[in-house]
Structure 1
Amino acid sequence: MSQTTSVTTVMRALADPTRRAVLERIAQADEVTVVELTRGSGVTQGAISQHLKQLKLAGLVSERPEGRRVFYRAKPEGLEPLADWMDHYAAFWRGRFERLEVLLKEIDP
């Protein structure tokens, strides 16, 4: 993943439900082509290609060309900026909830 990939880029890529579904289908397979992703999706091949472009820019998928076909594979490490962001805020909220618990015990002994 590029050093410049930010949590915002990853969040934008995952904000679209169709794009999340495409990523889930890729993650469930070892490798998959655009044709395989299009089949049964109810989305055009062009739309799938656009979703793949955004997922690739966010560092969530990689591609491997083989002749006329391109195979896509999920890159779990692409979720690291999002996981780091969530870890930061999880610690923040844990501290807040602990202080709230203390306060509630003081108010209602």
Structure 2
Amino acid sequence: MTRLPDLFAALADPTRFAIVERLLAEGEQSAGELADIADITAPAISRHLKVLREAGVVTQRIDGQRRIYAVTPEPLQAISAWAIAHRDFWEGSLDRLEAAIRNRRKESR
């Protein structure tokens, strides 16, 4: 079972989010290819990748001396399912707010 708080925490950092965005857009890449994501050191990129791996957001495979990273689909699907499940609540709340504003405007005329 994927823990959503861990996923959100891992993705909350702009560098880690950018790494995931790159991997989604361009497919698997080595840590070296991801080094231009931010103006940080290679060890810092590795630490970000470790956080993403531990949260289950990315996988790592070894190809000789290189570490190749790819997005794991299940955690992102879990986030999507959570957002969709809460969509009805937010849409209903916004609809109620809009109706209340309309009623208030009618009453003030």
TM-score clears 0.5: yes
Contact 2:18 2:37 in 1 (8 A): no
- The TM-score with structure 1 as length reference comes to 0.80
1:44 equivalent to 2:41? Answer yes
Corresponding residue SS for 1:63: strand
Q: 73-82 or 98-107: which moved more?
A: 98-107
CA RMSD of aligned residues (A): 2.1
Instruction: Give runs of ≥4 in structure 1 deviating > 6 Å.
Output: none
**Displacement after TM superposition at 1:87 (Å):** 1.8
Q: Tell me what 2:12 maps to.
A: 15
CA distance in 2, matches of 1:100, 1:17: 32
**Displacement after TM superposition at 1:106 (Å):** 4.2
**Displacement after TM superposition at 1:94 (Å):** 1.3
The CA deviation string for residues 61-106 of structure 1, in whole angstroms up to 9 with x for no partner, is 1111122211111223321232222223221111122233444444
Q: Tell me what 2:26 maps to.
A: 29
CA distance in 2, matches of 1:27, 1:98: 34
Corresponding residue SS for 2:39: coil
Q: Which runs of 5+ in 2 are unaligned?
A: none
Q: Which has the higher contact order (CA 8 A, sep 6+)?
A: 1
- Code of the residue aligned with 1:87 in structure 2: it is I
- The TM-score with structure 2 as length reference comes to 0.80
CA distance in 1, matches of 2:39, 2:77: 30
1:68 equivalent to 2:62? Answer no
**Displacement after TM superposition at 1:27 (Å):** 2.0
Aligned residues: 106
- Name the CA shift for 1:41/1:95 in 2 (closer, same or farther; >3 Å): closer
